[in-house]
Amino acid sequence: MNRSSFQAGAIGIFDSGYGGLTILKDIQEELSAYDFIYLGDNARAPYGTRSFEVVYQFTRQAVCRLFEMGCHLVILACNTASAKALRTIQQRDLPSIDPQRRVLGVIRPTAECVGEITQSRHIGVLGTTGTINSKSYPMEINKLYPDIIIHSEACPMWVPLVENGESDSSGADYFVKRHLDALMSRDPQIDTLLLGCTHYPLLLHKIRQYTPASVRILTQGMHVARSLKDYLLRHPEMDAKCTRHGTTTYYTTEDAAFFSRPASLFLGKNIVAHHVTLE
Ligand code: DGL
């Protein structure tokens, strides 16, 4: 790959695969003038059932790659990576890699908005096994809103369904219903379901179908986008390093054509991705 083709000054958006596109879409709307580089590690997705060490190593590689591509700011648009790798990268790696660069996650901005949404103060969190086992959501939410009762459900099959293009299949019906029924049966007072995985909005049509109509489904994209906008306002020194030509460049660790087709369908516009290797 030709280094000069990198968009230096773009904001990096990273996910294990397609899920981060659900965050990118809202970020592009909120910050349309900025440049972005999307990086999906589709060849190694899903991350959700992998160990802490492996998720950390993969995420670190992706962040370093995005830094090499000229990003000063990287958003981990992946809850699993945010839960398992963000703190170590921020506290241990950034000071030696480059103390001026920043890496932000999606869990904190999502947790911040929960308190204004739930009325009953009983919520359900759906996520990958890695995110749920990390207990990051209950910790972050209860730090801000100690009165909220949180029930969590790991849905290990949901990301593979999306990554394998099975979101509309009867298999998706089975696994979506199974986890929603399990979660809702634990506490009928749940009035809000937080989709704590960026892939899950790609199953939203199925999730809606099996969720009681009175229950609000909370997706992350808009909240992460607003939080990023606010971050750039509060950090003019970082904002000044971010270029604004309204471009987005897409990279995947999988075959580029494999990625481009479903990504174009989801984004509603034709995109041509490039292949990248991570090591
Ligand atoms: N989109 C990632 C998340 O938000 C999915 C992780 C995976 O690859 O399992 O957690």
Q: What is the pLDDT of residues 103-115, one digit of tens each?
A: 999 999 999 999 9
Residues of the chain with CATH 3.40.50.1860: 11-105+222-275, 107-219
**Both tokens assigned to 3:** 């280094």
- The domain 107-219 is placed in CATH, from the list 1.10.15.40, 3.40.1280.10, 3.40.50.1860, 3.40.50.410, at 3.40.50.1860
Q: How far does residue 19's CA lie from ligand 1's centre (Å)?
A: 7
* 3-class SS of residue 120: coil
**Above 70 in pLDDT, residue 270?**
yes
**Above 70 in pLDDT, residue 257?**
yes
For residue 155, indicate whether it is catalytic. no
Ligand 1 binding pocket includes 199 (Cβ within 6 Å): yes
Q: How far does residue 53's CA lie from ligand 1's centre (Å)?
A: 15
Q: Which of 50, 52, 78, when mutated, tests ligand 1's pocket best, judged by the most ligand atoms within 8 Å of its CB?
A: 78
Ligand 1 binding pocket includes 47 (Cβ within 6 Å): yes
Bridge partners of residue 38, in order along the sequence: 13, 250
Q: How far does residue 240's CA lie from ligand 1's centre (Å)?
A: 31
For residue 71, indicate whether it is catalytic. no
E strand residue ranges, the chain: 11-15, 36-40, 73-76, 102-104, 122-127, 149-154, 192-195, 216-218, 248-252, 274-275
Domain 11-105+222-275 has CATH 3.10.20.30: no
**pLDDT band of 2, cuts 50, 70, 90:** very low
Q: In whole angstroms, how far apart are CA 231 and each of 13, 145, 239? A: 15, 22, 9
Q: Comparing C-alpha atoms, which of 257, 188, 219, 10 is closest to residue 113?
A: 219
**pLDDT band of 6, cuts 50, 70, 90:** low
**Above 80 in pLDDT, residue 89?**
yes
pTM of the model: 0.95
Mean pLDDT of 62-88: 98
